[in-house]
Amino acid sequence: MMSRLRPWQIAIGLFVISALVAHVWMLARIPTMVMSTARALFIENGAIENGWSPSPRVTPETQRIVRPSPDLAYSICLFDASSGPVEISAPAWDGYGSLSIFNERTDNVFVTSLDAAEDAPNQVIVGPEGYVPSPDIAIEGEAPPILILTGEGVALIRRLAPSQALHDAAQSLVDQSVCQPLSAG
């Protein structure tokens, strides 16, 4: 028969269990906390929700997140797919370019090339869990990929633009890019 635990054994057990639970809980929360802070920072610096916001050319003065590349032109869209599908697209670029989507845990859940030399899809529909595209919603051209994502997300366009002229040209494409609830189109 197992002997009764002594108080000091219980104390050590409580200490270890508390440490483990707190460690795992905090570790799992760090990416969400960082993404939430970054999202607030983007909004504070003029980024809008459900729309593309071109970032100024990356310099020591304009950098907003860690390790930005000064050779790339960035545009960002903060969206929330929890209440309905969001359409996200960006035109191709003559050079390296990509459209990527991150969930609220910072996972890179979607990426496609915007390089005009590669014939990759440059449009994606992001929908909440259980989303099935309605046949009433007409989308021109080939059916875009569907990405299921619960909650908030961040879409990011990167285009190779190592000079001011190329950066300006890249950012002028924002007018041709889409990041909005599908029903608003």
Partner 1 sequence: MKTLLVFLGCILGGGAIGLFSALWYGGMVPGGPRMGSNLDVGGWSSDWSIGSENASPYVRARIARFGLLAMRKDEAVYFGKAVDDLGDPMVESCTYRVSGRSMPARWWSITLYNAESYLPSNDDGALSFDATRVPEGSEDWSFIVSPSAPGPDENDVDQAWVSSRAAGTFDLTLRLYSPTPELIEHPKRTLRSPTIERLSCEEASQ
Residues that bind partner 1 (CB under 8 A): 7, 10-12, 14-28, 30-31, 34-35, 38, 58-60, 63, 65-71, 95-96, 98, 100, 102, 105-109, 111, 113, 115, 154, 156, 160, 162
CB of 135 to partner 1, least distance (A): 31
Taking the chain, what is the end-to-end CA distance rounded to the nearest angstrom? 71
Q: Which residue has the tokens 């799992």?
A: 28
Please, which residue, 25 or 135, has the CB nearer to partner 1? Answer: 25
The DSSP secondary-structure symbol of 3 reads P
Task: Please name which of 178, 151, 129 lies closest in space to residue 36, comparing C-alpha atoms.
Answer: 151
Please, which residue, 60 or 141, has the CB nearer to partner 1? Answer: 60
CB of 144 to partner 1, least distance (A): 18
CB–CB of 75/55 below 8 Å?
yes
Please, which residue, 14 or 137, has the CB nearer to partner 1? Answer: 14
Task: Please name which of 106, 90, 109, 89 lies closest in space to residue 149, comparing C-alpha atoms.
Answer: 109
CB of 82 to partner 1, least distance (A): 19
